[in-house]
């Protein structure tokens, strides 16, 4: 999208507009760099800088937590060790290498929360806080929850002008973007956001309370967020606190509740990490006196061991993601990048996929997204479920005669001819499935593509395999 944006087009394919990104701002940030020789590394550089910035903000929070303690060796070691644990508890390393906007997302929400902490301590809401409140949802739609809680906090703390200014700017900017999408004959919401919202609404019950219970009980991460809510509520009701901290506990729980109601989880531990980060920081801030007292009463070794075990038990999925990142990256290389290579360097024609990924990257051929993130047609077909032959119809409508998809994605049309499967050489971490099937839709495409695949398979990395299906007789 960033590549095409530089050509004055919004979408994956130059022949049609689309809005597959969950971020308004991210593609605009990347667009100026797409023509540079080092553009492949720009996201890595941005994410690394954002991670370092977030780590600095974590340090600022921890120094606030321990400000009543003397600046001795024990305090310094404790803060350093907590910083290291926060790196793993917030999936910081893994997010850098995912190559999306989440490192910047975490930096922005952390900055907002630090701004609220600053207001409580100094009775002053800085104008940079308003800037972050406005920018955050432009970077990622989920950040609406954080910006909203911050606006409510500012309003009830007496910053009427600043709260209305930030709310007005968000409405203006999102209204303008909505008009922009409508002028392109697109939905007012990006298709990726619609897809996630529709997935979040799936339930076996029609009762709101039952839906809420299902969403919590079906996911251990949701249970942890609920526990975090109870800790924050307990502080506001049963701890002696000032009005700012009490209001903070209320609005943060409102933000957590919004995620519990409509938020998503997973996708290599990235969807929920923003609200986890907020919850962790707020609990550290609210319970700072208790934390300092417990650490002061125990040895560094004992507390270090306890905190380490606690983080391993509670945030084990993020620790696992950190150590699996090299394998996950290799998965993308062995599957998505090889699919990209085949279409760009060998097939060189329109292709259908169900995982957009790298196939569309620097690809001048048309890429039909059967999942629906960049195709509103596909999204409508999949949502309705009334046409079992929809994949056959949509590929014919777009003159696509070849597909690289997961067999378990949908019912494969009977007329499609399987050429074979591209299989991962290592354990599956990041893709949905370990093998991708290649299909031709007519005899002519089948035989031509078969010959191209014979050449292509000789160039695969040593751990990747392409298993040919039994060849059709001419």
Q: Could you read off the pLDDT of 440-462 as tens digits, one per residue?
A: 999 999 999 999 999 999 999 98
Phi, psi of 202 (to 5 degrees): -70, 125
Q: What is the mean pLDDT of residues 334-349?
A: 96
pLDDT, tens digit, for every residue of 85-110?
999 999 999 999 998 999 999 999 99
Tell me the longest C-alpha to C-alpha distance in the chain: 83
The percentage of the chain sitting over the pLDDT mark of 90, rounded to a whole number, equals 76
Q: What is the mean pLDDT of the chain?
A: 92
User: What's residue 386's pLDDT?
Assistant: 73
- Residue 175, Cα to own-chain centre: how many angstroms? 23
Residues 322 and 84: their CA atoms lie apart, in Å, by 13
User: What's residue 207's pLDDT?
Assistant: 63
Residue 466 pLDDT level (bands cut at 50, 70, 90): very high
Rounded to two decimals, the pTM is 0.92
Task: Give ∠ CA 137-142-148 in degrees, rounded to 5.
Answer: 60
pLDDT reading at 201 higher than 70: no
pLDDT reading at 471 higher than 60: yes
Question: Using the 8-state DSSP alphabet, how is residue 337 labeled?
Answer: I
Domain boundaries, given as residue ranges, for the chain: 2-314, 329-468
pLDDT reading at 230 higher than 60: yes
pLDDT reading at 55 higher than 90: yes
pLDDT, tens digit, for every residue of 294-309?
988 889 899 999 999 9
Contact yes or no for 417/440 (Cβ under 8 A) = yes
pLDDT, tens digit, for every residue of 345-354?
999 999 999 9
Residue with tokens 């990104």: 21
Q: Report strand pairing: 402-405 vs 435-440.
A: antiparallel
pLDDT reading at 209 higher than 80: no
Topology of domain 329-468, per CATH?
D-Maltodextrin-Binding Protein; domain 2 (3.40.190)
CB neighbour list of residue 120: distance below 8 Å, 6 or more residues apart: 242, 244, 245, 248
Q: What is the mean pLDDT of residues 118-137?
A: 95
């Amino acid at each position: 999208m960033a590549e095409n944006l530089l050509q004055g087009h919004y979408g994956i394919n130059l022949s049609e507009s689309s809005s597959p990104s969950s971020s308004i701002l991210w593609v605009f940030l990347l667009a100026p760099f797409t023509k540079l020789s080092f553009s492949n590394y720009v996201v890595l550089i941005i994410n690394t800088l954002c991670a370092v910035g977030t780590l600095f903000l974590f340090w600022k929070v921890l120094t606030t937590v321990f400000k009543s303690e003397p600046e001795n060796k024990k305090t310094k070691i404790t803060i350093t060790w907590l910083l290291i644990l926060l790196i793993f508890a917030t999936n910081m390393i893994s997010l850098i290498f995912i190559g999306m906007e989440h490192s910047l997302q975490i930096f922005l929400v952390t900055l907002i929360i630090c701004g609220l902490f600053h207001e409580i301590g100094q009775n002053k809401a800085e104008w940079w806080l308003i800037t972050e409140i406005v920018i955050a949802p432009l970077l990622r739609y989920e950040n609406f929850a954080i910006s909203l809680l911050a606006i409510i906090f500012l309003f009830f703390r007496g910053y009427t002008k600043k709260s209305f200014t930030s709310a007005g700017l968000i409405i203006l900017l999102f209204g303008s973007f909505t008009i922009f999408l409508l002028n392109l004959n697109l939905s007012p919401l990006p298709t990726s956001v619609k897809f996630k919202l529709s997935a979040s609404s799936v339930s076996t019950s029609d009762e709101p309370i039952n839906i809420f219970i299902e969403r919590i009980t079906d996911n251990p991460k949701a249970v942890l967020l609920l526990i975090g809510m109870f800790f924050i509520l307990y502080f506001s009701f049963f701890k002696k606190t000032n009005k700012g901290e009490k209001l903070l506990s209320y609005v943060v729980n409102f933000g957590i509740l919004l995620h519990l109601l409509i938020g998503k989880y997973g996708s290599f531990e990235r969807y929920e990490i923003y609200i986890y980060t907020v919850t962790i920081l707020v609990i550290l801030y609210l319970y700072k006196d208790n934390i300092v007292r417990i650490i002061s009463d125990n040895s560094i070794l004992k507390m270090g061991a306890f905190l380490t075990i606690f983080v391993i038990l509670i945030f084990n999925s993020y620790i696992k993601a950190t150590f699996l990142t090299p394998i996950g990256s290799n998965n993308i290389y062995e599957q998505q990048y090889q699919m990209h290579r085949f279409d760009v360097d060998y097939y060189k024609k329109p292709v259908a996929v169900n995982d957009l990924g790298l196939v569309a990257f620097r690809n001048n051929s048309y890429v039909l997204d059967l999942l629906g993130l960049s195709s509103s047609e596909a999204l409508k077909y999949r949502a309705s479920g009334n046409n079992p032959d929809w994949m056959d119809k949509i590929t014919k409508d777009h003159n696509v005669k070849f597909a690289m998809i997961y067999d378990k994605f949908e019912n494969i049309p009977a007329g499609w001819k399987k050429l074979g499967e591209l299989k991962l050489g290592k354990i599956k971490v990041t893709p949905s499935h370990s093998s991708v099937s290649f299909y031709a839709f007519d005899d002519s495409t089948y035989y031509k593509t078969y010959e191209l695949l014979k050449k292509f398979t000789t160039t695969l990395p040593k751990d990747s395999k392409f298993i040919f299906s039994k060849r059709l007789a001419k």
